[in-house]
Chain A
Amino acid sequence: MITRRNTTLAAGLAILAVFVLMAVFAPLVAPYDPIFQDAAARLKSPSLLHPFGTDNFGRDILSRVIHSTRIDLQMALIGVAFPFAIGTVVGAIAGFLGGIVDAVLMRLIDVILAFPFLVLMLSIIAILGTGLSSFYIAMALVGWVSYARLIRAQILVLKNSDYAMAAESLGFSRARILFRHLLPNAVAGSIVFSMSDVVLVLLSGAAISYLGLGVQPPTAEWGVMVAEGQSFVTQAWWITLFPGLSIVMLAFGFSLIGDGLAERLGVNG
Chain B
Amino acid sequence: MLHRYRFILTRPLQFLPVILGVSIITFVLVRLIPGDPARVLLGTKATPEAIANIRAQFGLDQPIWQQYFYFVQNLLHGEMGRSITFRIDVLQLISTRIEPTLALVFSSVLLSVAIAVPLAAIAARNEGRVIDHAVRLVSTFGIGFPSFWLALMLILLFSISLPLLPVSGYGNTFSDKLIHLILPSLTIALSLSTVLLRSLRAAMIEWLKSDVATAARARGMPESIVFWRHVVPNAIVPTINLLAVNIGWLIGGTVVVESVFALPGMGQLLVRAIFSRDYMVVQGVAMVFACATVLVNFLADIATVAADPRVKL
Contact = CB atoms under 8 A, between A and B. Distances in A.
Interface of A: 107-108, 110-120, 122-127, 196, 199-200, 202-204, 206-207, 210-213, 222-223, 226-227, 230, 233-234, 237, 240-241, 243-244, 247-252, 254-256, 259
Contacts of B156: 233-234, 237
Nearest to B271: A211
B234 interface: no
B144 A113 contact: no
B251 A107 contact: no
Contact of B18 (A114, A207, A244): A114
Interface of B: 17-19, 21-22, 24-26, 29-30, 32-33, 140-141, 143-150, 152-153, 155-156, 160, 247-253, 255-256, 259-260, 270-271, 273-275, 277, 279, 282-283, 285-286, 289-290, 293-294
Contacts, number: 156
Given A126-B274, A207-B147, A252-B140, A116 B22 contact: no
Given A203-B146, A226-B146, A248-B145, A116 B271 contact: no
A227 B260 CA distance: 9
Contact of B149 (A111, A240, A249, A252): A240
Contacts of A119: 248, 251-252, 255, 270, 285-286, 289-290
14 contacts: A107-B18, A112-B25, A114-B19, A116-B290, A119-B251, A119-B289, A207-B146, A207-B147, A211-B259, A212-B275, A227-B148, A234-B160, A248-B149, A256-B140
A124 B28 CA distance: 11
Contacts of A211: 148, 256, 259, 271
A233 B156 CA distance: 7
B256 A113 contact: no
Contacts of A254: 144
Contacts of B282: 123, 126
Contacts of B283: 123
Contact of B146 (A113, A114, A122, A248): A248
B152 A233 contact: yes
Nearest to B30: A127
Contacts of A124: 29
